[in-house]
Amino acid sequence: MTGPLYNLARFDFVSIRLAVDCARTGSLTAAAQASNLVLPAASRRLKELERALDTPLFERHSRGLTPTAAGRVFLARGLSLLRELDLLVEELADAQEGVVRHVHLCASSAAITQFLSPLLAAYAALHPEVQVDLEEQMSEQVVAALREGRAEVAVFVAGPDLRGLDVRGFRRDELVLVVPKGHRLAGRTPIAFADTLDEPWISLNAGAAVLQAQQQAALAAGRRFRLRTQVRSFDAMAHMVASGLGIAAMPKGTARPLLASMGLQCRPLADDWARREIQVAIRTDADATATALRDFLVSTSRNAKSGDASFK
């Protein structure tokens, strides 16, 4: 096996952070201050790093520094190295407190706001040696993170391609129409989505299961989906509806606590796609810790029901 193409003795994280800060700020002075270095020492470190790499990382000019093509590559990879160092320090500190394993769980907004918070608290009490690192994403991005190894357990609304993954059912939920009080579409009886399409809509960003379902339903009805605003969370969606900017569809369990505080009303949607399955998945090569978390989540689903109380 051949050795590295560089001299490791000439690399250190101070110089890497300095170069990254230079690329981000375009200023050696600002980067030196961020690294607590005097300017001559920072300049010397940067030149030594470029010599070690045998390539210039920056073009120098009167206005500061501009990354070369190599400098842009160094910025991306250097940021990754620094993030890994930060994670190493955090996990070492956790290990001193008894945490011996981190599990990265990626989940959709619907899963987090309706179900996961109390379950993760219960899991933490049962397994204090495991820390679950939770990341919120849209359902498509959740599955992509699992496939790419950026997540070990995924919880999402059914719909994305799941070939090659180990998938189990987790919960069911129901989308409801959310409108301001007194809106012409307010009511108690189920309403067809097609009958709402004259209104402007607020929805989630691309990759969200609810947005994909809405777009497909509008296409099937031969109608235009008047998407006025896209946001990242159901809370932001509710604020937009409360301001009169449009109507929305969100999970019943998520909508319930927002109704009274924001002056909103809910109405059932009559469409079959409004009743959804939330799934949990791991990769087929998942280790015992990730599998145990998946099994715990699945076991809690046996006696659980999605929020199905009627709205007043």
In this predicted model, what pLDDT tens digit does every residue of 195-212 receive, in sequence order? 999 999 999 988 889 999
Indicate whether 312 belongs to any domain: no
Q: Which of 29, 63, 95 is the last residue in one of the domains?
A: 95
Q: Are residues 66 and 88 both part of a single domain?
A: yes
Q: Do 281 and 167 share a domain, yes or no? A: yes
Same domain, 123 and 254: no
Domains: count for the chain: 3
Distance CA 68, CA 76 (A): 13
| DSSP letters spanning 133-194 | EEEE--HHHHHHHHHTTS-SEEEEES-S--TTEEEEEEEEEEEEEEEETT-TT--SS-B-GG
Same domain (yes/no): 292, 237: no
Question: Token pair 């799941």 is at which residue?
Answer: 162
Are residues 258 and 193 both part of a single domain? yes
Rounded Cα–Cα distance for residues 311 and 286 (Å): 41
Q: What is the pLDDT of residue 215?
A: 95
- Are 90 and 127 found together in one domain? no
Over residues 257-309, the pLDDT tens digits come to: 999 899 999 999 999 999 999 999 999 999 999 999 999 999 987 656 444 43
Residues 238 and 266: beta-carbon distance below 8 Å? no
Alpha-carbon span 243 to 245, nearest angstrom: 6
- 89 lies in a domain? yes
State how far the Cα of 309 lies from the Cα of 259, in Å rounded to an integer: 13
Question: Within a domain: residue 217?
Answer: yes
pLDDT band at 76 (very low <50, low <70, confident <90, very high): confident
Which domain, by its residues, includes 210? Answer: 174-275
For the stretch 43-74, pLDDT in tens is: 999 998 888 888 899 999 888 899 999 888 88
Among 58, 76, 95, where does a domain finish? 95
Q: Do 236 and 258 share a domain, yes or no?
A: yes
266 and 126, same structural domain?
A: no
**Would 18 be classed as within a structural domain?**
yes
